[in-house]
Amino acid sequence: MFKSMLRTVTVASILAAGTFAAHAENPMVGGAPMYANKNIVENAVNSKDHTTLVAAVKAAGLVKTLEGKGPFTVFAPTNEAFAALPAGTVDTLLKPENKATLTKVLTCHVVAADALSATIAKMVKDDGGTHDVKTVGGCILKAKDDGGKITLTDENGGVAHVTIADVKQSNGVIHVIDKVLLPKS
């Protein structure tokens, strides 16, 4: 009986350690666990820090795309990043008549690849300090390494910092950023 209990405790400890390791690998975002076996949309809808992004993805009709096979790398601006845009910008972009503009802005945050931060940092280093990242929306972002943290500069000179890197998804990876990246104006 003692051996049976000991075996049960050992198995439970191993399972608990495995659960902890799984959560340690993929960070919490917006107060919600992000699961590597769920797709980008399934995870994003649970983040309280990304409600504006989710609303924008829905308004642009990009839900099916971002639920697709991928792989995608999404640089995901927080609600605070959207709030920092000039007053009225988000409301204007969410109007049906501005769907094309909204789609362009959002797809300038998506890369058709699964690029973890170590991969991006290596490309930056290999390219002498700056790496051009071509997005699905046709924007060129300039990736740089700023003291071990990745920054992205949009076509207007706006700089976003990756605040949470390598949030693995079943169809790619999300990097949380602190600024909305905008296409050339």
* CA angle (37, 40, 45) in 5-degree steps: 105
- For residue 31, the model assigns a pLDDT of 87
Nearest CA-CA partner of 178 in 94, 92, 85:
85
8: which 2 tokens? 């049960």
Q: In this predicted model, what pLDDT tens digit does every residue of 61-76 receive, in sequence order?
A: 999 999 999 999 999 9
Q: How many CB atoms lie within 10 A of CB 25?
A: 12
- For residue 27, the model assigns a pLDDT of 84
Q: In this predicted model, what pLDDT tens digit does every residue of 5-62 receive, in sequence order?
A: 333 333 333 333 333 333 347 788 998 889 999 999 999 999 999 999 999 999 999 9
* CA angle (119, 25, 130) in 5-degree steps: 20
pTM for this model (two decimals)? 0.84
Name all domains of the chain by residue range, CATH numbers in brackets. 2-177 (2.30.180.10)
